[in-house]
Amino acid sequence: MKTRGEAFAGLSVAITTPFKNGEVDYDTLKAQVQFQIDAGTHCLCPVGTTGESPTLSHEEHERVIATVVEAAAGRIKVMPGTGSNSTAEALRLTRWAAKAGADAALVVAPYYNKPTQEGFYLHFKALAEAVDIPICVYNIPGRTGKNIEPETIARMAECQNITMVKEATGSMDQASQTMALTDLTILSGDDSITLPLLAIGGRGVISVVGNIVPRDMLALLNAFESGKLTEAQAHHRKLFPLCRDMLGLATNPIPIKAAMKLLRRDTGELRMPMTPLSAAEETKLRRTLTEYGLL
C-alpha cells in the first residue's frame, strides 16, 4: 500500500555533526554528505538527536542545515531536525529550513514540558499550517518524557503536509494502531526493529548505523521490498550486533561517534555534557566492528 510520505520511503540517515577543536567541522560534514550519496542513501537527516542538536547554537543549527542542503545539491533529499519544546522556536526553525531548501522537516515531540495530547496536536498543526514542506512527526517518549498517542497522530494526519512518523516508541502495537488509523508513512526510529516494522507496514528507517554501513541497511530494505524475506532476515542478523552497540553501549550519538573515529571518518569529538565511551566500552565496540569486518 502506498502511503502519504512515500517519497521518503527507504533509507534516511541521521547524520552526526562533526566537531574539531570545539567547532563544527563543515568540511567533514560535506564529506559525510558525499559518502551517503555514493552509498545510494535516499535522504539525510542532519541536526537531529544523532546530530547533537541540543548543544548547537541557533546559528550553528541553521548553518549545518544550509551546508547539507548545499552539499546535497538536489542529489539526495534532506530532512533536517527542526523541533523544539517551544512552538515559536520550532516554527522559526521549520520556516528557516523550508526557506533554505530542505525537502521535509523532522520535528520531535516537544520535550521536557510534557504537553497534553491537545498541546501536541496544536503544536504540530501550527507548524503544518506555516510551511509547505512535508513534516515527519518524531515520537520518541524515551527522550521527550511523553508519548504522542496514535489517536493524536490521527488528528495530526488531517493536516495534509504531515505525511510521516518516525516511530521510536519501541511498541509494535503503537505502530500498528497508527497504521490502522492513518495513511502516514511510518519510518523506523530504531535500527534494531526496522525489519519487524517493515513486516507490519513500515516503509523505511531513519538510521543511526547507516552512518557507517548505509549499503548494508539498504540491502536489508531492498531484500524486503523484493519479497526476499530470508535474505532480509540474514541482513538483520548481521546488522543486529552493530545496531545494539550503537544504541546500547551509551547514549546516542556517543557510540556512533566512537565508531566513526575508529574508522577514521571523524574526530569522534562530542560536546558536553556528552562524554566519550569508557575504555571497556570502546574495547567492546572495537570487537563488534572487527567481528563485522569493518576493522
- 99 neighbors 131 (Cβ within 8 angstroms): no
Q: Return mean pLDDT, the chain.
A: 97
Catalytic residues: 138, 166
- 166 neighbors 5 (Cβ within 8 angstroms): no
List the grid coordinates of 179: 497504521
Q: What is the pLDDT of residues 92-132, one digit of tens each?
A: 999 999 999 999 999 999 999 999 999 999 999 999 999 99
Confidence of residue 1 (pLDDT cuts 50, 70, 90): low
Identify any residues that bridge with 24 across adjacent strands, giving them in sequence order. Answer: 19
**pLDDT at residue 228 greater than cutoff 80:** yes
Is pTM, for the whole model, over 0.95? yes
Q: What is the pLDDT of residues 9-47, one digit of tens each?
A: 999 999 999 999 999 999 999 999 999 999 999 999 999
List the grid coordinates of 20: 574539531
Intra-chain end-to-end CA distance of the chain, in Å: 40
Rg from Cα positions in the chain: 18
- 68 neighbors 101 (Cβ within 8 angstroms): no
In the chain, the domains with their CATH numbers are: 6-228 (3.20.20.70)
- 109 neighbors 139 (Cβ within 8 angstroms): yes
pLDDT at 2: 76
Nearest CA to 68 out of 94, 39, 35, 90 is that of 35
Q: What is the pLDDT of residues 233-288, one digit of tens each?
A: 999 999 999 999 998 999 999 999 999 999 999 999 999 999 999 999 999 999 99
